[in-house]
Every structure is written in C-alpha cells, then in structure tokens.
Amino acid sequence: MTAWIVFWNILLKDVRTYYLKPPNLSWGLIFPLAWTGMFFIRSGAGRDSVLELLPGVMALSVLFGTTSLLAVTVTFEKKGRSFERLLLAPIPLELLMLAKTSGAILFGIANAFVPVVLAAFLTDLSGVAWALLVPAVVLIAVSSAFLGLFIAVSVKEVFEAQAFSNFFRFPMLFLCGLFFPIAQLPMWLRPVSYALPLTYGADVLHASVHQRGQMPLWLNFTVLMAFCAALFAVSLRNIRRKWIA
C-alpha cells in the first residue's frame, strides 16, 4: 500500500507539474503536426502518403517527447536537490524510478496518437492492426523514457541533457527505417541501425499500419523488451554509483 501511494503521488505530481503544463502540451501537439506536415508536403503524393508516413511520425513523436522531458526534468530536480527527497523515500529505487518515468511514458504514448487522430480525418485506418500497434507504441515509449533516464544520469546540467539527447535521437531519425528502408542504407551503417531500439519499434509499426515489417514480430518485441530492461538496469546502476556514491 505504501509503495502504491508513493508511486501514484510521484506520477501525479510529475504529470501536473511537467506534462500538463501548456508549453509541454503544445509541444506534444505541435511537434507531431509539424513532422506530419513536413513529410506530407515533401512526399507530394497527397493523401495516399498519410499511411506511409504514419509509423515514422508516430515513432518520432514518442521518441522526441519522451526523452527530452524526462532527461530535462530529472536533471532539473537533481540540480535543485529536490531529487534527494525521492532518494530518501523508503521505497525501493526500482519502484521510485518506475514512478519517475511513468509520466514520460504516458506523455509519449499520448504524443504517438496525435498523428493517428489527424490521420483518421485524412485516410482510412480500418486496415491498421491495433493489437500490434498499441503494444509497439508502449514499448517505444518505455525504451525512450529509459533512454531519457540514462541520459539524465549521465549529465549534470539541463543544457547537457538536451544536447546529449540529440546525440541519440538524430541518428535514430535516419537509421531506424522510419522514412528510409534500412535496406537502402550503406552496408557499413546497417549494424548501427540494428543496434538502435527504435529500429525494432518502427518495424512493428510498419507491420501494423501497412503490413510491411522486415523482421519477425517475436524478434522485434523481444529485442525491444531487452533494450527496455538493459537501459533501466544500466540507469539504476549509474544512479547507485553516481548519486548514492
């Protein structure tokens, strides 16, 4: 019961304090709209391109929203020492950090569905395999949130969190098969693609939206879950090493 009270209140505080703030809400709406508009105009194929673009725009919306906010908010709280309050709470560190990342995960999932709502007005979504798409979005949000946590633990200043986030995000933008198939990348770049979690998430999204996945679904989900577990474990280890040193 105690653990649940702590978990719920950390989540509630973060959602109210950070994720429901007007600048972040507008970021959550404008960012996916801007990506959609950009690729829509660039493709020149009109409404036919909407389904083609949807997986990439969804994945980027989750990735950018989740990693940015989590890395910045945790770094901000660490710098202001309010994060010490959480470390002093008598609940396991694992649960504490899950509570801290849950707000970002929910924010990322909500971001992912902004382009879906937009697409529903422009094209027919009856062919979308929702049972695949929803778990894929959740796993992309979880892995991105844990990537944000990993970034937050690696930096000291808020501006460093932003810069370090981009170090991971921009390669993903081009190398994860979101808008350009991995098969079209130079051979030497492909191993990098397969080392990025979003590659597997994007593949499931492609499979669920227009049935064009490149890898087996079981492999995509297994690798995504493995990335989530590894990023969380490494972040916890770093917190223990650096912040409870």
Partner 1 sequence: MPEPMIEVRGLRKRFGEVQAVAGVDFDVREGEVFGFLGPNGAGKTTTINMLTGLARPDAGAMRIAGIDCSANPKAAQHLMGVVPDESNLYPELTGRENLCFCGALYGMSKADRRTRAEELLARFGLAGAAERRFGGYSKGMKRKLTIAAGIIHRPPILFLDEPTTGIDVAGARQIRQLIADLHAGGTTIFLTTHYIEEAERLCRRIAFIVEGRIVRIDTVANLMQQTEGLEVVQFFFANHVAGLCDAMAAVFPHLQCHAAGREGIRVESAEPVRVGPLVRFLEDRGAEVTEARRIRPSLEDVFVQVTGIEAAAMRQENDKAGIGGGA
Does the footprint of partner 1 cover residue 86 (CB under 8 A)? yes
Q: Which of 117, 131, 187, 245 binds partner 1 (CB under 8 A)?
A: 245
5 binds partner 1 (CB under 8 A): yes
DSSP state of 17: I
Three-state SS annotation for 71-140: HHHHHHHHHCCCHHHHHCCCCCHHHHHHHHHHHHHHHHHHHHHHHHHHHHHHCCCCCCCHHHHHHHHHHH
The interface with partner 1 within residues 48-77 (CB under 8 A) comprises: 77
Q: Does 20 bind partner 1 (CB under 8 A)?
A: no
Asked if 92 touches partner 1 (CB under 8 A), the answer is: yes
Secondary structure of 148-161 as H, E, C letters? HHHHHHHCCCHHHH
Residue 195 gets which letter from DSSP? T
Q: How far apart are CB 104 and partner 1 at their closest, in Å?
A: 17
Residue found under tokens 């490149």:
214
Rounded CA gap, 225 and 146, in Å?
A: 11
DSSP 53: H
**237 counts as binding partner 1 under rule CB under 8 A:** no
Based on CB atoms, which residue is closest to partner 1, 89 or 215?
89
Q: Which of 22, 23, 44, 80 binds partner 1 (CB under 8 A)?
A: 80
3-state secondary structure of 209: helix
Q: Which of 34, 87, 219, 226 binds partner 1 (CB under 8 A)?
A: 87
Q: Which pair of structure tokens corresponds to residue 15?
A: 């959602």
The residue from 15, 89, 134, 225 that contacts partner 1 (CB under 8 A) is 89
The reply on whether position 184 binds partner 1 by CB under 8 A is no
Binding status of residue 156 toward partner 1 by CB under 8 A? no
Q: Which stretch binds partner 1 (CB under 8 A): 84-92, 112-120, 200-208, 216-224?
A: 84-92
Q: Are residues 147 and 231 in contact, defined by beta-carbon separation less than 8 angstroms? A: yes
Main-chain phi, psi angles of 220, to 5 degrees: -60, -50
Q: Which residues bind partner 1 (CB under 8 A)?
A: 1-3, 5-6, 8-10, 13, 17, 77, 80-82, 84-92, 244-245
